[in-house]
Structure 1
Amino acid sequence: MSDQESEVLLILFGGIFFAFLMSVFVVAMVVLHRQRQIQNRQKIDNLKAEYERTILNIENEIQQETLAHVGRELHDNIGQLLSLAKLNLNSAKPEKQAEGKEFINQIIKEVRGLSKTLNLDWVEEITLDDFIKQQLQRIESTGYCQTAFDSDQSFLELPKDKKLVLIRVIQECLNNAIKHASPAHLKVHIIGDSTLRKIEITDDGYGFDTTAPSSGSGMTNLKKRMETIGGSFSLSSTVGKGTQITLNLPL
């Protein structure tokens, strides 16, 4: 075999070997790409499943609280109104009977109000600002502490699912402040810009050491719930100086 033929064979085998390597490389890249696609699809499915579980759990929690509230109202409020209506209607005095009819009208209004709370339609009807105002007014009406609310109305436009999550997270934050912080003042501040909306919940209560290990999972659950709607949860606290919680939700 001549040198020229040897060179041709060498080039030919080299080309075949290079083509083989390129084929292996292409196949490997295709397989890797498919694996990443599968992993990404699994991540998306997991996120969707977590989101659906979160919404379902929140709906169940709110419905349970609503049923407990309805039970208390039926026993403490409507039950008392019915007793008063019965006493007045049984009276022979016309003014008492008229008063009894007024009690009946009041009972009808109370029952209608309770019936509206038995489903979650109220979530679509109320703005997040109005919900926070209601919560703070209830806290202040008990004489527990003074409250304040300031908003630039960044959260007026919200889909029901995101609003539901925020309502539950805010409820938990306010309840934790009341139960554990014993504040004199409790404030909620809403502010946003072109990229981010933010809810700050601040109290001047006991505060705590955020580096100390916690036996509960409350903060972790709140973080996860915010993550399911694409938001974030952060907390800063100093012993004796209170706590600030920030809920961020990108636009």
Structure 2
Amino acid sequence: MEEESQIVFILFAGAFLAALMATFVVAMVILHRQRQVQNKQKMEQLQLEHERTLLNIENEIQQETMSHIGRELHDNIGQLLSLSKLYLGSSKPEKQAEGRELITKVISEVRGLSKTLNLDWVESISIREFAKQQLDRIQATGFCQTELDQEGDPWELEKNQKLVFIRVIQECLNNAIKHASPNHVSIQIIKNESGRKIIIKDDGKGFDTTIPSKGSGMTNLKKRMETIGGEFLIHSSLGNGTEIKLLLPN
């Protein structure tokens, strides 16, 4: 009788342990699937945020381009057309010839502007060329002196990476112009074994980076670099200018 009781107990204990193990396995499977779903949702959310960031950058660049076109039409092409009208209306052959030359120049300027109406130019321009264009525009205004330096081989970037760099460079230079009052602004483009780096420096007012900014500008720039796996680092102090590093590993 006692042996039968032990056998029953062993069978019952075995069945209980088997049920417990089965429950544990089922629970682990369910937990694993839940984690998979959560990870998938997180990846989808990150992808959505990445796409939104790129879309915002494209829209901002297009708005910047349209503003540039508007200024060129008003300040440059409009002036050239007015002069052309005066020269062509002259009775002097030499003035009429100058008018025709100005019309040719206007046609060339309009063709150049038409190329910037979409973002195809992003794929055809290098980061160095873009940086040079931006610095040349700043120096042409007489606002301050500029300098561009490149170390290492030319960069090869995907379109989304290039879009982010273009917009971040624009914003950094705009901030220097608006807030720093510098005498000199420089951009250094570097490529080496560790990755790619852009250093943007100015000798302007500088600011205390330990004081939280009222705006979200720097935070947005940092987030944008993070969307392409990069880093945004800034060092500044009052009276000592500002240095910004944009880092992208290989």
Q: Report the TM-score range of the alignment, normalised by the length of the smaller protein.
A: over 0.9
State the secondary structure of the residue aligned to 2:215: coil
Once the two structures are TM-superposed, the CA of residue 168 in structure 1 deviates from its matched residue by: 0.3
Aligned to 1:118: 117
Per mean C-alpha deviation after superposition, the further-off stretch among 139-148 and 209-218 is 139-148
Distance in 1 (alpha carbons) for counterparts of 2:15 and 2:166 = 66
1:93 aligns with 2:72: no
| Structure 1 segments of 4+ aligned residues over 4 angstroms from their partners | none
Aligned to 2:188: 189
What do the CA deviations read for 1:67-90 (whole angstroms, capped 9, x no partner)?
A: 121111111111111111112212
Once the two structures are TM-superposed, the CA of residue 195 in structure 1 deviates from its matched residue by: 4.1
Aligned to 2:206: 207
Alignment of 1:1-251 (within 5 A): 1-2=1-2, 4-153=3-152, 156-251=155-250
What do the CA deviations read for 1:2-36 (whole angstroms, capped 9, x no partner)?
A: 3x323322222222122122112211211111111
State the secondary structure of the residue aligned to 1:91: coil
Distance in 2 (alpha carbons) for counterparts of 1:185 and 1:87 = 40
Whether the aligned pair in 1 keeps the contact of 2:155 and 2:191 (CA below 8 Å) is no
Distance in 1 (alpha carbons) for counterparts of 2:100 and 2:130 = 33
Letter in 2 for 1:225: R
Distance in 2 (alpha carbons) for counterparts of 1:11 and 1:148 = 85
Percent identity between the two aligned chains:
67
State the secondary structure of the residue aligned to 2:232: strand
Distance in 1 (alpha carbons) for counterparts of 2:153 and 2:235 = 23
Per mean C-alpha deviation after superposition, the further-off stretch among 141-150 and 125-134 is 141-150
Change (3 A) 1:155 1:169: farther
State the secondary structure of the residue aligned to 1:157: coil
Distance in 1 (alpha carbons) for counterparts of 2:90 and 2:138 = 39
State the secondary structure of the residue aligned to 2:7: helix
Change (3 A) 1:194 1:39: farther
CA RMSD of aligned residues (A): 1.6
Q: Normalization by structure 1: what TM-score? A: 0.93
Q: Normalization by structure 2: what TM-score? A: 0.94
Once the two structures are TM-superposed, the CA of residue 222 in structure 1 deviates from its matched residue by: 0.8
Distance in 2 (alpha carbons) for counterparts of 1:100 and 1:147 = 35
Once the two structures are TM-superposed, the CA of residue 229 in structure 1 deviates from its matched residue by: 1.4
Once the two structures are TM-superposed, the CA of residue 112 in structure 1 deviates from its matched residue by: 0.4
Distance in 1 (alpha carbons) for counterparts of 2:98 and 2:171 = 41
Whether the aligned pair in 1 keeps the contact of 2:189 and 2:197 (CA below 8 Å) is yes
Distance in 2 (alpha carbons) for counterparts of 1:92 and 1:147 = 45
